[in-house]
A = this chain, B = another copy of it.
Amino acid sequence: MMARDSAATRARILDAAIDEFTAYGLAGARIDRIAETAGANKRSIYVYFENKELLFNAALHRVLSDLTAAVPLTEDDLPGFAGRMFDYTLAHPQAVRMNMWRKLERPAAGPNEKDLYATKINAMSAGHSSSASGLPPTDLIVLIFGLAASWMISPDDLLSADGSDPTSPDRIAVHRAALVEAARRICAPERLPNN
């Protein structure tokens, strides 16, 4: 059993690691800085997490598990999911950044979510409301993810090209509404041509 002090130290190290990896990624992160932020010594970091790569894995796991718990994939309400995902990632930029660092530096890291996605895709294939869209379930989820992330991955030059301030709450509310409406259109039952 881990003593209370040890558990508290480990938690402080993990919090500091999330901040450090979010800002600098795996290659750019410095164990020295993590130790300093956590008020721990470097040796304790290696005792609890072994090496920088495994500390990155632990940080990624925490951030993505928090995301999945906070924004469950509601396969019967994908437009609502898109909006909630947008809200969460706007409030928690570390989720977006850690995901990008993973894609770039350590694609095999992170929680195993294959079973979770397979369950959702099976549910959607079985005569679910979203199947009326006529799009394959996997692609539908992929496209909804893309819509929810589009604001965060777009270049600053585009977001401010119309003269608005992309950080203002009013502007963000306009984008959220456009995003949810776009998701609704993608999920809507297929119209026949000329109908």
Contacts and interface: CB of A to CB of B under 8 A. Distances in A.
A114 B157 contact: yes
A105 interface: yes
A17 to B, nearest CB: 16
A123 interface: no
A130 to B, nearest CB: 13
A142 B33 CA distance: 36
A109 to B, nearest CB: 11
Contact of A114 (B103, B108, B161, B185): B161
A146 to B, nearest CB: 2
Contact of A186 (B104, B110, B186): B186
Interface of A is mostly: helix
Contacts of A117: 157-158, 161
A175 interface: yes
A184 B29 CA distance: 42
Contact of A150 (B99, B100, B145): B145
A102 to B, nearest CB: 8
A175 B139 contact: yes
Interface of A: 24-25, 27-28, 97, 99-101, 103-105, 107-108, 110, 112-114, 116-118, 120-121, 134-143, 145-151, 153-162, 164, 174-175, 178-179, 181-182, 185-186, 188
23 contacts: A25-B25, A25-B27, A27-B27, A104-B104, A110-B155, A116-B157, A117-B158, A136-B162, A136-B178, A137-B162, A139-B179, A142-B159, A142-B175, A143-B147, A143-B150, A143-B178, A145-B150, A146-B146, A146-B147, A146-B153, A146-B154, A149-B149, A185-B186
